[in-house]
Amino acid sequence: MTKRKKKVLIRNQGKRLLEYMKEHNLTKKKFAELSGLTICKLNGFLNNKNVLVGTLLKLARTTKISIDELFDYKIVEENEND
């Protein structure tokens, strides 16, 4: 039995935003106020939940970070069981 590798996409969309908040000494509450988001929507993004385009636009405008840079994706290989 040979083990095959499969490629898996891992999403960590909150990493860059958390770095921004740390660099600017912002709490979640303060960042939510600045961006016009609720803490619930901000937490949703930080916890890899699906978010609306309007939320992404607010995050991008507030941080001056492009939408694609707010996402951190990587592809890893895992063993696939037959």
Residue 15 lies in a domain: yes
Residue 80 lies in a domain: no
Task: State the Cα–Cα distance between residues 58 and 32, nearest whole angstrom.
Answer: 10
The domain in which residue 28 lies consists of 4-75
E strand or H helix at 51, and its extent? none
The model's pTM = 0.75
Counting the structural domains of the chain, the total is 1
Task: State the Cα–Cα distance between residues 28 and 34, nearest whole angstrom.
Answer: 10
Task: Render pLDDT for 46-66 as a digit per residue (tens, 0 to 9).
Answer: 998 888 999 999 999 999 999
More confident call, 45 vs 77: 45
Residue 55 lies in a domain: yes
Residue 10 lies in a domain: yes
- 38: domain CATH number? 1.10.260.40
Check residue 11 and report its DSSP letter: E
Share of the chain above pLDDT 90, in %: 57
Residue 49 lies in a domain: yes
